[in-house]
Amino acid sequence: MIRFVRAASLAIVAALLLTASVQLVAAASTDVSNGSGPASSPHIAVSGSHVYAVWLNGTKSGIFASISKDSGATWGSPFALSLSRSQDPHVAASGPNVYVTWTQFSKQGRRVVEFIASHNYGVTWTYPRDLSSPSFRSDSSRLVVSGSDVFVSWTDKSFNGAVIMFIASHDNGTLWGLPVDVSKAAGYSVNQVMTASQGVVYIAWQSTTSVSTQIRFSVSRSDGATFSTPINLSNDAGQAIQPAIAAVSGPSGNEVFVTWQDSSTGTNQIMLSSSSDSGSTWSSAQVVSRNLGSSTNPSIAASTNGMTSSIYVIWTLSGPHSSVVMEATSTNNGASFFGASAVSPQGVNATSPRIATRAGSSSVYIAWIGTVANGKATDAYLSTSLNGGMSWGSPQNVSNDGKASQVRLNDQTASTASILMVWVDQSAGRGSVICTFV
C-alpha cells in the first residue's frame, strides 16, 4: 500500500535541501522553424549532441524538421519530410539513426501511419512508408527506440470500435514485421502509451465498453512478436482515462509504473500501479494525488541508481479560480510517496505539464503552460529540482512574451543527458517552434 509522509514532517528536510534546488536558468531560445510557416505540434528527440525537432507546418500541415549538431546551440534550416496533410508527428533517435512517424490523410479520407528514417544523423532520408492499413482510420502513433529495435503503436478505428495496433523492426527501420492487435478485446481502445526496456515492450491504454472505461496493459517479451493477454490495471467502478507509463531496469528485473486519472473515489484522482517483475504481476491501484479538487492530466518519469528507483508523478489540480501543477515523489520503487507539492505559483493557471529526468543525476524538470488571471498572457514555464524531487526551485518563465502554447520536453531515455524544452510561440503573429537548452 502506498504510504504518504505528512507535509509537516518534511518541512525540516525541505529547508535543509533548499540550497540544492537552486533554479537553473534556461539558455537563449531559438526559433527552430525559422519563419517557415504556421507551426504547431512540436516534438523533439536527443541523441548525443544531435537534437531533432519535427512539427506540423503550413496551412496544409505538412511535416517539417530541423537539426542541431551542438546540443541545440545552433540549428540548420527547416526542411520538409512530407507536404501532405498530416497530424501528430513523433521523433526518436539512437546513435546516427533518426525516426519519424505521423498520421497522414489519404485521398480516400482515411488516415495512415507513416514512417521515415535517416541512418546518417539526418543528412539523407528514406522514402516514407505506410505502417498501417489504409482500410482503417489510423492515428495517434507512438514511437519508441531501443538499440536497433524500432517499435510503433497506433489506434485503428472502424465502425466496430477501436483497437491498439503494434509493429516492430529489428534492423533500424529497414524491414518490418506484421502488425499485431495488442488490445484483443471488444470495445473502444485509445490513448495508448508505450515504453521499452531491454527488449521488453510495455503498452497501456484506456478501453471503453458499455459498462465503464478501464486502464489495460499488455507486455511483449519477444521483441514485439507476440503480446500477453491484456489485464485490467484500474479494475474499479470509476472512469479510468489518460494513462502514462515509465520503466527502469531494477536489481530484480524491469520495473514498470503506470499512472492514470480515475473517478472511482467520487472525484478525479491520480492512481498508480507498479510491477517489479517486468509486468508479470502488479500492485493494487493506489491513490497518489489525494487532493480535494479534481486531479487530471497525469504524467510520469522514473530513474534508478541500480538498487532503488525514484518515481515522479505530476498532474494538474483544478482549484476554484485556477489550476496548479502538482508533483509527488517516491524514492523506494513506488512503495511510498512524499506528500504532493505544488510546483507552479498561485495566480497562474497552469496546464499541460510535461516531465523529464536527466540521466546520471538527481535533476528533474517539469515544463508547463501558465496563463495569468486576465487570460491574455500565456507562457511556457519550467520548474526544476536538483535533488530528486525533494524540493523545487522557483518556476522560471522561459518564453516570457505571453504567446506560448504546446510545451514539451524531449522524451526520456536511459541515456538522456541533455534536456531541451520546445513550444509554439505566436508573438510574431504566426506559430513558430521555439527551443531552448535546459
For the segment 338-360, what is each residue's pLDDT rounded down to a tens digit?
Answer: 878 999 988 899 999 999 998 87
Phi, psi of 32 (to 5 degrees): -70, -35
Average pLDDT, integer, range 30-35:
90
Strand partners, 84: none
For the segment 152-208, what is each residue's pLDDT rounded down to a tens digit?
Answer: 999 998 877 899 999 999 999 999 999 999 998 767 999 999 999 888 999 999 999
For the segment 121-157, what is each residue's pLDDT rounded down to a tens digit?
Answer: 999 999 999 999 888 889 999 999 998 999 999 999 8
What is the reported pLDDT for 319? 80
Phi, psi of 213 (to 5 degrees): -115, 125
Q: Which pTM does this prediction carry?
A: 0.91
CA distance 193 to 215: 11
For the segment 371-416, what is each residue's pLDDT rounded down to a tens digit?
Answer: 986 777 899 999 999 999 999 999 999 999 999 999 999 876 545 5
Average pLDDT, integer, range 265-271:
93
In sequence order, the 6+-apart residues with CB closer than 8 A to the CB of 159 are none
CA-based nearest residue to 424, from 376, 366, 379: 379
34 near 77, Cβ under 8 Å?
A: yes
Look at strands 3-5 and 336-338 and give their pairing.
Answer: parallel
What is the reported pLDDT for 61? 82
CATH match of 1-31+238-438 with 2.60.40: no
Average pLDDT, integer, range 19-35:
68
Strand extents, DSSP E, 198-285: 200-208, 213-220, 231-232, 240-250, 253-262, 269-275
Average pLDDT, integer, range 307-324:
89
Instruction: Give the three cell numbers for residue 177.
Output: 514485421
Residue whose C-alpha cell is 512478436:
225
Q: For residue 417, is pLDDT > 80? A: no
What is the reported pLDDT for 252? 67
Q: What percent of the chain has pLDDT over 70?
A: 91
Per-residue HEC secondary structure of 29-69 comes to CEECCCCCCCEEEEEEEEECCEEEEEEEECCCCEEEEEEEC
